[in-house]
């Protein structure tokens, strides 16, 4: 039962993230709210990177955290942006398939998390370090969209 809830939560969060990314006005894929912030395209890439990090962390518990800088994109075309959104959909399926291979005992397995400097369960790692992190970035996307709307840049 916990596996089903976890996969449904993953799907719901990703669906909401993609919904927001799909309404980014054309030509604003690289827009940033400030120079040191991530652009819409970089946020999408970072979320893909987070999923890939999770896969690697499960394979190799000694894997260290990724840095946000890995998501930096010099320039993303509209076509590349659409490919990032497709990539978010595809990697979600990969994540769901992986989670479906787990069982209750595996979810309880502990591993070291360098970001928190302690041992955490696999389910905690999935929920906190992966899904909750995406939720953070989904809020970032929503805020960016509000700023663009306030500037009358939204359609």
CATH number for the domain that contains residue 53: 1.20.120.450
- The neighbour count for residue 144, using CB atoms within 10 Å, is 21
In a domain, 101, yes or no: yes
In a domain, 155, yes or no: no
In a domain, 105, yes or no: yes
**SS3 at position 120:** strand
State what percent of residues in the chain have pLDDT above 90.
84
In a domain, 139, yes or no: yes
In a domain, 59, yes or no: yes
Average pLDDT of the residues of the chain: 93
Mean pLDDT of 94-118: 94
| CA 149/CA 136 separation, integer angstroms | 20
| CA 18/CA 91 separation, integer angstroms | 12
Mean pLDDT of 32-55: 95
Confidence label for 70 from pLDDT (cuts 50, 70 and 90) = low
**Of 2 and 50, which is predicted with more confidence?**
50
In a domain, 30, yes or no: yes
Number of domains the chain contains = 1
- Asked whether the predicted pLDDT for residue 13 surpasses 90, the reply is yes
| CA 121/CA 13 separation, integer angstroms | 21
Residue 128 · residue 135 · CB < 8 Å:
no
Mean pLDDT of 82-109: 96
Answer left, alpha or beta for residue 121, where phi above 0 means left and psi between -120 and 50 means alpha.
Answer: beta
Query: What is the span of the domain harbouring residue 106?
Result: 2-150
In a domain, 39, yes or no: yes
DSSP states along 8-62: HHHHHHHHHHHHHHHTSPTT-TT--SSTTSPPHHHHHHHHHHHHHHHHHHHH-TT
pLDDT at position 153 is 63
Residue 42 · residue 73 · CB < 8 Å:
yes
pLDDT at position 154 is 60
């Amino acid at each position: 039962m916990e596996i089903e809830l976890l996969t449904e939560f993953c799907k719901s969060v990703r669906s909401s993230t993609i919904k927001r990314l799909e309404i980014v006005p054309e030509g604003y894929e690289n827009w940033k709210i400030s120079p040191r912030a991530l652009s819409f395209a970089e946020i999408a890439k970072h979320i893909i990177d987070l999923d890939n990090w999770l896969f690697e962390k499960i394979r190799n518990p000694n894997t260290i955290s990724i840095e946000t800088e890995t998501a930096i994109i010099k320039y993303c075309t509209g076509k590349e942006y659409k490919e990032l959104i497709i990539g978010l959909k595809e990697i979600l399926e990969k994540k769901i398939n992986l989670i479906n291979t787990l069982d209750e005992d595996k979810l309880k397995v502990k591993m070291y998390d360098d970001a928190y400097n302690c041992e955490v369960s696999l389910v905690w790692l999935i929920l906190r370090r992966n899904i909750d992190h995406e939720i953070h970035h989904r809020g970032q996307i929503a805020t960016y969209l509000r700023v663009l709307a306030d500037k009358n840049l939204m359609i």
